[in-house]
Structure 1
């Protein structure tokens, strides 16, 4: 039976299709004349060789999308099934719940053939790389993509570091009057004594944890702002999401907030200070962009050289580094997190932070997200339904 090949991709990819077909060798689509038992589809068993196939989507792209092999469709615990013939014997390439594989009627007779099939498919996948690139580029251009959501794990990292900071700070406060005295005898015969204060080291470690917590907070916000922007309809295409991901933090912030709101603007300004004085400084190797690493040579010794305003004058000036208040910075962050999930952004928390669902860009175009964002109740119903559908798909419960 002749194959009906897809024709919706550029003619320059035709040699890729031919190369993939040649790489498959004797692997052919099954036909009505392929010898097989009438119960073969239900009784075929997984071969050991088939466990080494490439990723399921790559196998499917080559056989079905590129070469138009027949997909028999879904069945319980089965995502897709492609019947093939190899050296006059029937096989199945299937993606079942426990993975993709090559399935045969007689494992003892067909194991060697299954290994050859796997080898041929690996060669075909390698030959088809330009086709995969074309598929991905086409999906990006058409925005038929999902945006991965890692908000829960990123926020968990922030909370872990913040809580660890607090525990360490509390321990330092509890042990603030503690002294550790050690004595001994020197080789010369005299006595020696050292005195240490555990609270000093504990406060140093607490500061490290606090700095890391603030770093983790900004990492989470850069992620979550983009997802809120999609839900609010401010980002509707893959290219817009890409540009937003590459933009600076203030640009991302404005995807989620209207700075005409007084509280949002105040928190924005306070977080910018935290970012400038701490996060950016640490991120750039503790050199920063304001001359923090410089000391001015003078008759009074080495004194700090700072830029008073990174946005204004580029002239260096003598200055005094200010002590950064971690407690105050974290309080601002706590207030901001509460504000983030209030008002028109409250439904977004259900989708992003409770269910951690991927953002499906096609749902920005058809109004699905717009309708769900009208209330917490609407979003709860929608997100729960979508999560259920995804669970069923993952379990292949069709």
Structure 2
């Protein structure tokens, strides 16, 4: 039995109705346009569905229970609205202001982030620096009262819509290769330009762009935390980022299961429903069990996160297993749909292409295996030494 409070059950119902009335009806036009209309953020903000955790003085609920975000992620997947990547704004980027920002920065930025007037993005990835941030080439040079930012970023979600971008850059002249600074770059700053809205295999409604920084003067008031510690700030949020990914992947896997179950019960093969074929029953039984088991672990990780005990290793396990099981279910779903599964008009087809990125973003499955493997063997050698 999953553990949600009465208030959270009510919140889920309200958010589900909001998605059905305000977001889902527009997803097709946003997919065609290649971008979600900014009004989606504003409507969610007006109803308190955009950012839950900020204190009431910033317009939030002041409740940091991650289960609220879990509900938002699950219901967004269930309703077919994953292309509106609202969690990027609210839970991946927003908390940087809480963890590393000054009171002045929180006062200046958070209220409009909560209301949906300001849309957030974070820029880490470069053509030669994805999971390996040490390969970053974007630089920030200390000029006394400001930093001079130069470089480019790619594959940035909310790249077109964003009004505020947290940009990671290497400190010019620093001895350590991990010496980085996080800079708050605002729309309209001279030298800050956006490239084209990139066409992708899936998630067409999610605007993804290249960002360019040509001698952008970023005032010291827009520095997040301590210069030189940016790399460690980025690492600090990775366990939660991977948990966010895990919550979305396993929710999407369950939705794919439900869609496929309905289809095979209706589809006839050799005069009998496809659901009566032993192969169908065995394969779907496997997936039902695997999805349930991973869901239990993800829920456990949410509870551990709320208690402050979520580790990098736990986040990596949740992220790897959920995205792999999701992909396994989506592949089976397309297969059991037959030719229909290859047609764009069927939800399973779009879900298949949309979800392919989930084994890459927030750290690829291969990187997750590296993290888990290092932990496995560090414990092994530790036990030998002890």
**TM-score calculated relative to the size of structure 1:** 0.26
Greater C-alpha radius of gyration:
1
